[in-house]
Amino acid sequence: MLSFIYRIATDFEREHGYRPCLLYLNPDHYAQLRQELAAIVQLDSVRRLLGMDIVIDNTLAHPRVAWSTLSWGQRAAC
């Protein structure tokens, strides 16, 4: 999962000229990422390591990255 995220983030940066700040994952992808980063307990630490806020979306088939002017950190969907 980490290598895939790195690749899509790098591709995004190459195409747009700046790093993405949002990582969209479905719950299964998020669970896999958390398993790979099991030594990092807090979500905020994972966000800082990736350099992106994480958005969980049940409808996604594949992880994707994006850029936004909004700071999504510490927000939860209602």
The pLDDT score that the predictor gives to residue 69 is 82
Domains of the chain: 2-66 (3.30.2320.10)
The pLDDT score that the predictor gives to residue 41 is 78
Tell me how far the alpha carbon of residue 23 is from its chain's centroid: 3
The pLDDT score that the predictor gives to residue 77 is 45
> Comparing C-alpha atoms, which of 46, 14, 20 is closest to residue 32?
46
CA 41/CA 48 separation, integer angstroms: 12
The pLDDT score that the predictor gives to residue 40 is 86
Tens digit of pLDDT at every position of the chain (78 positions): 999 999 999 999 999 999 999 999 999 999 999 999 988 878 778 888 899 999 999 999 999 999 988 765 545 443
The pLDDT score that the predictor gives to residue 73 is 55
Structure tokens at 30: 């998020």
